[in-house]
Structure 1
Amino acid sequence: MTKRLPRDPQKEQAILTAAVQEFGQVGYQASTDKIAELAGVSKGSVFRYFNNKQHLYYKAVQRAIDTIMAVVDFSVWTDSKDLVSMIIRATKYKTELSHQFPNEFGLLMRVYTSDSYVPKPMRDRVTKMFTELETNLMHTVIEATISHLNLRPGLDHKNVQVYLTMFLATLSQTIQQYFEKHPDVKKIEDMSDIIDQVKSYMDMLEHGIVVDD
């Protein structure tokens, strides 16, 4: 009977790091040969630690999620003094994180957009994992947002959550595009144009767009 070699945690982590990088930059069609090369191990070692490419992909997605969750600072959302500053701070923070962890964000974005190269059973599995994470994060953000609003009596809390989810998702995309176009902007004081734009949207959110009769 062949004796099974003990696992080397350093090799395993090196393979995962390389997998996150390649899957994040190239997608599921990334070469396992390249992953082995980046990790400094043989291709056989890759499949000794991870049974097959699908298993490696799943663990890479899990690693990307764990990496982001280990550093994310929720006080950016919960401690903001008002909705405008919360949205600006949160979007800027997310943009900075994506630059700090480009491979992790790249991989999770591919999961979000359902990388068609991933076999469907695995695609469904990682999508479920990502959706659960996204739901938990959005719940935290939406609850922080609702706490800053003076809601009309009688509104259904769940309907408000759904409405704010759609609103904040669109607004965050707009702000993120601004930061991508203005990478040198670092201070809130230098963001008067985007802040004024966000304020106008928030005014419409809180007071509507139709004059009461």
Structure 2
Amino acid sequence: MLEMNPEIPKDPEKIDRIMASATKIFANNGYLQAKTADIAKDADVSKGIVFRYFGDKGHLYLATVTYVIDLLTKRADFTVWTDAKDLGDMIERAVRYKIELQLQYPDEFKLSVQSFGEMNVLPEDIRPQISELWQKQTTTSIAMLEEPVLDRMKLRPGVDKTILKKLLGSIGNSVFVEAEAFMKKHPDAKIEDFEPIINEIQAEYEILEHGFATK
């Protein structure tokens, strides 16, 4: 986890509480509306401790986003993706599993996505680092998750794998936006409630993989 003033001794329990509180408050209020005083109060530490550990609100946000991405990466079981036999199987597994994780870690998922969308309101000195976090995460995800499946598949001659990845990414992004909107309307939803979304994404990947026109 990224911290300002690394030379200053820090209480690990206080850091854990600050990260948990910052995740919740940044996720539910956004960067601009979140108050450092509220984070400190919720974490049961002084506001001075927060600034002493992290420097300022911007770097606290950066540390929190870094913490959230690390946590989700460590908790994820990547074999859900890499063991898939084809694209349809991969996306079904991915959507089901990602929804399960999102239900389990709602604030963490919300903040991880929100951090990219809020880029233009963040302090200029942390924007490049947030952007780098996302770029690294995206590159790593593609290499770890999609590549093993695509490498096992026989692609039609002439298919540009880079363009194919863009298409996969576009479909994936649209379904996760749809799933997020569904969760806002149905906060108590269970994984089985997402079957219509899962069926739709399966159909989209089926068309992508096998085409839509007859010869």
TM-score above 0.5, yes or no: yes
* Residue 71 (structure 1) aligns with: 75
Match of 1:155 among 155, 159, 176: 159
* Residue 26 (structure 1) aligns with: 29
- In structure 2, the CA distance between the partners of 1:197 and 1:36, relative to structure 1 (3 Å rule), is closer
2:95 aligned with 1:91: yes
The root-mean-square deviation of aligned C-alpha atoms, in Å, is 2.9
Match of 2:42 among 38, 41, 53: 38
How many pairs does the alignment contain? Answer: 205
1:84 aligned partner, one-letter code: G
- C-alpha deviations, 1:115-163, integer Å up to 9, x for none? 5432233233212212211221133332144145321124333333333
Contact 1:111–1:130 (8 Å) recurs in 2: no
Partner Cα distance (2:176, 2:150) in 1: 16
Contact 1:22–1:35 (8 Å) recurs in 2: yes
Bigger radius of gyration, 1 or 2? 1
Partner Cα distance (2:8, 2:204) in 1: 60
Partner Cα distance (2:45, 2:191) in 1: 42
For structure 2, the 5+ residue unaligned runs are 1-6
SS at match of 1:121: coil
Partner Cα distance (1:132, 1:61) in 2: 13
* TM-score normalised per structure 1: 0.80
- In structure 2, the CA distance between the partners of 1:198 and 1:125, relative to structure 1 (3 Å rule), is closer
Partner Cα distance (1:168, 1:26) in 2: 26
* Residue 14 (structure 1) aligns with: 17
Partner Cα distance (1:81, 1:179) in 2: 28
- In structure 2, the CA distance between the partners of 1:5 and 1:112, relative to structure 1 (3 Å rule), is closer
- In structure 2, the CA distance between the partners of 1:22 and 1:133, relative to structure 1 (3 Å rule), is same
Contact 1:28–1:118 (8 Å) recurs in 2: yes
- In structure 2, the CA distance between the partners of 1:179 and 1:76, relative to structure 1 (3 Å rule), is farther
Partner Cα distance (1:48, 1:24) in 2: 22
* Residue 113 (structure 2) aligns with: 109
2:141 aligned partner, one-letter code: L
Partner Cα distance (1:163, 1:115) in 2: 24
* Residue 141 (structure 1) aligns with: 145
Q: Percent identity?
A: 34
* TM-score normalised per structure 2: 0.79
